[in-house]
Amino acid sequence: MEDSPAVVSYEDLASIEDEFEEVDAEIMRKQYALSTQIYAKRSQAVRKILNFWPLVVEQAPPEIDQWIQPHDSRIFAESLLNVEVRRPELDDGGAGNPRSISVKFEFKPNDDFEDTELEKTFSYRRARDGWTGLVSEPVKVHWKKGKDLTEGLTDGAVALFEARTKIGDMTATGLPEYTALKKKVDKWNGSNTSFFTWFGWVSQRRWVSAEESEKAVEEYKQGKERRKTRSETKEVEAEIAEAAEDDEEEDEFDDEAVEVHQMGEELAISFAEELWPSAIKFFTQAQEDEISEPDFEDDDDEEDDRDGDEPVDFRALVQDKGDKVRPRESTGGAALPNKKQKKK
């Protein structure tokens, strides 16, 4: 292989990518700072619109919609009061990672679970082997008797997480909770029975603790500095090679066998980057769709022998509550004419 000085190395490219990533993070912080007040104003405004959030969720983009089963639709239509997305590490003047996400749902008292609030936090972490992504502690949904739509998956995920935490080994596989959850996951084999399974999601690969992440970020920053200053010596090369070897060992552990949700991270990002910023657009779409025939929730999931589980006419559910769904039109008709907004 030629090694002419005119050829760039992966380090050069990685160093450029580092710089883009820093700009991205700065931009995310700036955007959050500039929009927080507007989101607060929006939250206040939409609280006055009956069924705002159920209608928004109904219009959710496919990345979200594909996870909403008919039973979930019914719960959202009947009980969803509010949705809130935050960047928890930026709140209260925090200078943490802008990629961490928190999604909170508020519900009316309902027949399915005891909770009136379910909040899931996704923390952006870096593993020692260079993997980066979101991880999240499983959130317990307090299902009423016989109502668990997740078929025990969320409870199982919570139980395993707690058992592992107790013995201080987040990769333990010898626990009875592990065996029990693995069996459940095998049974459903990737086909979720409910949107609420998401609350049990942990990671695309495995749990990464805050401590591991901090250490990994520190190592990564040192690597970045090395790339920037281009002061690589043979020792540094050897060190990198060694680290890469260590990584290979760590790489072997993958917790997929007990992961209850296949796209937990993508779903969180869709909530934060699509549904949340474009909620008014989705609501307006829902209003426009009302003119046409009501859609039936498409239901092509495999399980269909649950008690009376049939496609739900979401609009009928929402409209049962009266027709206050539509905001006052007054002079407003002209305010949003043909507003074809392009997707960002």
**What residue has token string 């060694």?**
242
* Cβ nearer to its own copies, comparing 34 with 95: 34
* Cβ nearer to its own copies, comparing 145 with 344: 344
* Cβ nearer to its own copies, comparing 1 with 95: 1
Taking a C-beta distance cutoff of 8 angstroms, is the pair 113, 122 a contact?
A: no
Residues 260 and 153: their CA atoms lie apart, in Å, by: 6
Please return the burial class of 264, using the count of CB atoms within 10 Å of its CB with bins 0-12, 13-18 and 19+.
buried
Provide the minimum distance between the beta carbon of 243 and its own copies in the complex, in angstroms, as a whole number.
7
* Cβ nearer to its own copies, comparing 32 with 296: 32
Provide the minimum distance between the beta carbon of 301 and its own copies in the complex, in angstroms, as a whole number.
25
Instruction: Please give the distance of CA 299 from its chain centroid, rounded to a whole number.
Output: 22
User: What DSSP designation does 143 have?
Assistant: B
**Residue 60 phi, psi dihedral angles, 5° rounding:** -55, 150
- Find, among 210, 276, 342, the residue nearest to 32 by Cα: 276
Provide the minimum distance between the beta carbon of 340 and its own copies in the complex, in angstroms, as a whole number.
6
Looking only at the bridges linking them, the beta strands covering 101-107 and 117-126 are antiparallel
Provide the minimum distance between the beta carbon of 188 and its own copies in the complex, in angstroms, as a whole number.
25
Q: What number of CA atoms fall less than 13 Å from residue 316's CA on the CB side?
A: 8
* Cβ nearer to its own copies, comparing 180 with 243: 243
Helix (H) or strand (E) holding 81: strand 80-86
> Collapsing DSSP states into helix, strand and coil, what is residue 146?
coil
Q: Report CA-CA distances (Å) from 175 to 178, 202, 250, 333.
A: 5, 17, 20, 61
* Cβ nearer to its own copies, comparing 118 with 318: 318
Provide the minimum distance between the beta carbon of 233 and its own copies in the complex, in angstroms, as a whole number.
10
Cβ neighbours around 238 below 10 Å, total: 10
Provide the minimum distance between the beta carbon of 65 and its own copies in the complex, in angstroms, as a whole number.
18
H helical segments located in 124-200:
153-167, 176-188
Provide the minimum distance between the beta carbon of 68 and its own copies in the complex, in angstroms, as a whole number.
21
* Cβ nearer to its own copies, comparing 186 with 237: 237
